[in-house]
Amino acid sequence: MKAGWELKSLGDICSIVSGSGFPKRFQGKTAGEYPFFKVGDMNTLGNETNLSIANNYISETIRKELGARIVPQNSVVFPKVGGAISTNKKRQLAHPSCIDNNVMGLVPNQETIDPSYLFAWMQGVDIYEFSNKAALPSITKTTVQAWPIPLPPLAEQKRIVSILDEAFEGLDRARENAEANLKSARELFENYREAY
């Protein structure tokens, strides 16, 4: 490990939170003070990285009635029960939100870890490896607290995130160019075929 880096556990640098039960009678509202995310919301178009579009919203009154925790913006969430674990989805909350009891969240201590660094690191973690691999797999808070994470100083974390962002932007541009070139090639082929 590089000089200045430390090996920490997620429990040292994050609060690990579980979601709340979400009875059907409270579901289906399309507006409210808090989005209430379920595992299925991770599949919604537009939620590939950040969870920002919810199928359910609740008011503060309902939140208190449910005893649902408000999970802060930039926390990292992932499935903690069932087959969804093997999909290995991790998302970052775009807004303060509530999560259901099939979801676990990592709330970063921002004095120690940059939320974007935590999210980038989590992309390389196979969460299924941390499950109990039972017939209905699950991930426990105790297991997550013990996950080791290499932790550089905050300035280095931000530098790493900046490099990754730049690399991913380059990949996005390359993909857009490849798609445009493929479209042009198809059009050229179609025009050539029509001409003969």
Walk along the chain (196 residues) and give the pLDDT tens digit of each residue: 677 788 999 999 999 999 999 999 999 999 999 999 999 999 999 999 999 999 999 999 999 999 999 999 999 999 999 989 999 999 999 999 999 999 999 999 999 999 999 999 999 899 988 898 888 899 999 999 999 999 988 888 888 887 877 766 655 565 666 666 666 656 655 665 566 5
135: exposed, middle or buried (Cβ count in 10 Å: 0-12, 13-18, 19+)? exposed
Helix (H) / strand (E) element for 195: namely helix 154-195
- pTM of the entire predicted model: 0.80
